[in-house]
Structure 1
Amino acid sequence: MLRLLKLLFVLVVLIAVTVIGYAYLGDLRPDQQDVSEPVELDTN
């Protein structure tokens, strides 16, 4: 039982390190571009 808890703890630590590493090193920023569209206003 203790072996299973150790394995579970090691897996949780590895997953946490992986997620933190991906958050810091992963490039998650979207490409930015200017968007302009003409707008017609009905002023009658």
Structure 2
Amino acid sequence: MLIRLIKLIFFLAIVGFIGLTGFAFFGDMAPRTAPQSSTVTLNGG
């Protein structure tokens, strides 16, 4: 049972390392933003 737990921890460590490496390469994929403005007219009734 202990060997199975050690294998699980080892597997999770490897998967976590792969995920961290992938995030380091592809983590900054946010869209580019540009300022936008629009005119709003209000009825001052």
Query: TM-score, structure 1 length as denominator?
Result: 0.57
Aligned to 1:5: 5
Q: Which runs of structure 2 are paired with 1:5-24 in the superposition (5 Å)?
A: 5-24=5-24
How big is the alpha-carbon RMSD for the aligned residues of Structure 1 and Structure 2? 2.2
Query: TM-score, structure 2 length as denominator?
Result: 0.56
**Structure 1 stretches of at least 4 aligned residues deviating more than 2 Å after TM superposition:** 27-31, 33-38, 40-44
Query: Could you tell me the percent identity over the aligned residues?
Result: 9
> 2: CA distance between counterparts of 1:22 and 1:10?
19
Farther off after superposition, 34-43 or 5-14: 34-43
Structure 2 segments unaligned to the other structure (5+ residues): none
